[in-house]
Amino acid sequence: MSAPVTRPAPVLLRGAALASGESADVLVADGLVAAVGPDASAHPAAGAAEVLDCTGLIVLPGLVDLHTHLRQPGKEDAETVETGTRAAAMGGFTSVHAMANSTPTADTAGVVEQVWRLGRDAGWCDVHPVGAVTVGLAGEALADLGAMADSQARVRMFSDDGMCVHDAVLMRRALEYVKSFGGFVAQHAQEPKLTAGAQMNESELSGILGLPGWPAVAEEAIIARDVLLAQHVDSRLHVCHVSTEGSVRLIRWAKEQGVRVTAEVTPHHLLLTEELVRSYDPVYKVNPPLRREADVMALREALADGTIDTVGTDHAPHTPETKQCEWTVAAMGMTGLETALPVVQQAMVETGLLDWAGVARVLSVNPARIAGLTDQGQAGDDGAPRVGAVANLVVWDPSVRRTVDPEAHLTRSRNSPYRGMELPGATVHTLYRGHRVVADGAPATPYRHPAAAETGEASR
């Protein structure tokens, strides 16, 4: 017999700073934002609420990641849905999108529903499976996009991330297909013939280090083609992990033409450069590669001015066997869920490029809008909680600074490029559907979905 369903206890966040800059109390009751401001303490539910002193802390809408690798099914030695989403909650995320490159590939309704159920059972945050564009990510035939869209997982985002949909005809067909049900294609922009054997950014440094180079044009050529295809069929394109100055120019031009294109940048491309590759430490090996300082500055400016819409972590956990080895055979990827907001604070807030309303916009409001997460629209454009919205919130302490220790992270993998770096900020509380999944800076208890508690299985 399943455990009885219990509603999250009311919580009053007292004296918090909102992303908009004002100070206000926030009352959470029955899983919703019940009141904000002077009405919070006078609300009937306030008398039974647990009061949390949030003086000096910032309340942000729960973060939304459009680009997470949870590895399950098939690669549970690197990550599971449970460990990955617990790490996400610790990073302030209440919604993540799980990329399709699992084993088996998430290219059928059965696999995406499995990932979705695993997310509900874990209870740390919402998990939205990303469906593969092509069968097995092979780039030869379209996967059954319609079946995944009609499944319990209700997939709307499709990507062969890790692989590029390099065939122009196939990409056009995918864009046309997803348009019929309001979906979009998220492209990993990498022309394969220009990057065969590539190991790092193509530059003077790659020549010095003797590592085959990965030219910027390999990314930019695919973006140029795809924005024209999206314009031609009037469909939605999302560009994953933009990494070059030239890519920024192309996306800016496309938006000026009215193309329905959105774009993301990773935290590591906002902070790290190719100079780190001099160490030959494979923790810095990533796809797309770390680029030049000029690219980093262009990406920051593009995120600040809205050319790039959101920050996607591209959280890519790997086992020690695949990362602690010779550079040329090491896997590509870095962990990022637990360090994303600290990196954004350092790269964007402390440089004056974004205020906290801007942080809420690029880490919550915009990605929720792109993905069509109507139940995640818990904040206005200024990042302030909306009364009546689902209470997905993160309480953030911007004043602390901590040295990154991957051994203390909740993700199953340890391939963080920030090891030993001092980064600002820390999650104090994460509220997922009104339940504190992170409390006082530590994981608490997961949320039990009512359907799962009552029936023993997830449903939607």
Which DSSP state fits 115? H
185, β-bridge pairs: 158, 237
Which DSSP state fits 336? -
Where would I find the H helices in 234-355? 245-256, 267-271, 293-305, 320-323, 340-344
Under a CB-based contact definition with an 8 Å cutoff, are residues 86 and 116 in contact? no
> In the chain, how many H helices and how many E strands?
15, 19
Angstrom distance (rounded) from CA 191 to CA 195: 7
Using DSSP's 3-state secondary structure scheme, residue 339 falls into coil
Active-site amino acid positions: 314
Angstrom distance (rounded) from CA 247 to CA 426: 32
Which DSSP state fits 390? B
DSSP letter for each residue of 24-57: EEEEEETTEEEEETTHHHHSGGGGGSEEEE-TT-
Angstrom distance (rounded) from CA 283 to CA 316: 11
Under a CB-based contact definition with an 8 Å cutoff, are residues 16 and 395 in contact? yes
Angstrom distance (rounded) from CA 212 to CA 207: 8
Angstrom distance (rounded) from CA 247 to CA 237: 14
Angstrom distance (rounded) from CA 379 to CA 452: 27
